[in-house]
Amino acid sequence: MIRRRLSLLLAGVVLASAFANVFAGMPPEMANKARAQAAAPATAIFAGGCFWCIEADFEKVPGVLSAESGYIGGTTPNPTYESVSAGDTGHAEAIRVTYDPAKVSYAELVEFFWRHVDPTVKDRQFCDEGSQYRTAIFYSGNEQKAVAEASKTTLERSGRFSKVYTQVVPAGEFTVAEDYHQDYYLKNPIKYRYYRTTCGRDARVKEVWKE
């Protein structure tokens, strides 16, 4: 146990030294910004149908710190579950993922997203129909935009699907959903599993991706 602790301590010292050497070669302002970016969590927003399910999927990814269910992409202020579900607001059910960029990259999250949705249908996912269940990647900033667009282009050019309906659009205001929707799969495991199974989500994903 002592030997293991010493090994971990030594590894931490070596890593810290490596980062110090990298930052030492930068102008002070750039180094400070790089340090902040390396230490700070980042966020990503995805719409993949029912937010209970896509939240549950992403919270299992190593490096993801949390996922919040919410609404984005509409025009009506202060959306609620009832108004969004009725299709009256233009919003999509979505999740905001908070992650550690040192452990998982945005590009890896985008690839994970693809393989947990059906991108071949418009304004629906599995048993849920309507634009509120559309698939979309909501990017923040030019770096996320470039990654998301390149990933979609690669998928389209692969010939795997005749058409990819998933949108790649800028992120607007994200409204966190009501508390009872957060971690629904943990709070209501039986109801959640029944819904996910009867909606055919996993079966359809397996059929679409053949993986």
Condensed to tens digits (0 to 9), the pLDDT of residues 47-79 reads 999 999 999 999 999 999 999 999 999 999 999
Catalytic residue among 50, 53, 127, 199: 50
> So what's the pLDDT on residue 31?
55
DSSP assignment letter at 76: S
> So what's the pLDDT on residue 171?
98
Average pLDDT estimate for 98-110: 98
Kindly report, residue by residue over 143-199, the tens digit of the pLDDT.
999 999 999 999 999 999 999 999 999 999 999 999 999 999 999 999 999 999 999
Average pLDDT estimate for 7-18: 42
> So what's the pLDDT on residue 207?
97
> At 18, is the pLDDT very low, low, confident or very high (cuts 50, 70, 90)?
very low
Average pLDDT estimate for 5-10: 39
The chain-wide mean pLDDT, for the chain, equals 88
Greater pLDDT, 30 or 6: 30
Distance between CA atoms of residues 64 and 43, nearest Å: 9
Predicted confidence (pLDDT) at residue 5 exceeds the cutoff of 60 = no
Q: Does the active-site annotation cover 50?
A: yes
Distance between CA atoms of residues 46 and 140, nearest Å: 11
> At 125, is the pLDDT very low, low, confident or very high (cuts 50, 70, 90)?
very high
pTM tops 0.75:
yes
Phi-psi region of 210 (alpha: psi -120 to 50; beta: other; left: phi over 0): left
DSSP assignment letter at 210: -
> So what's the pLDDT on residue 34?
57
Distance between CA atoms of residues 192 and 197, nearest Å: 9
Percent of the chain with pLDDT over 90: 80
The CA-CA-CA angle for residues 127, 133, 136, to 5°, reads 130
CA 201 to chain centre: 17
In sign, the C-alpha dihedral spanning 70, 169, 47, 129 is positive
> So what's the pLDDT on residue 211?
76
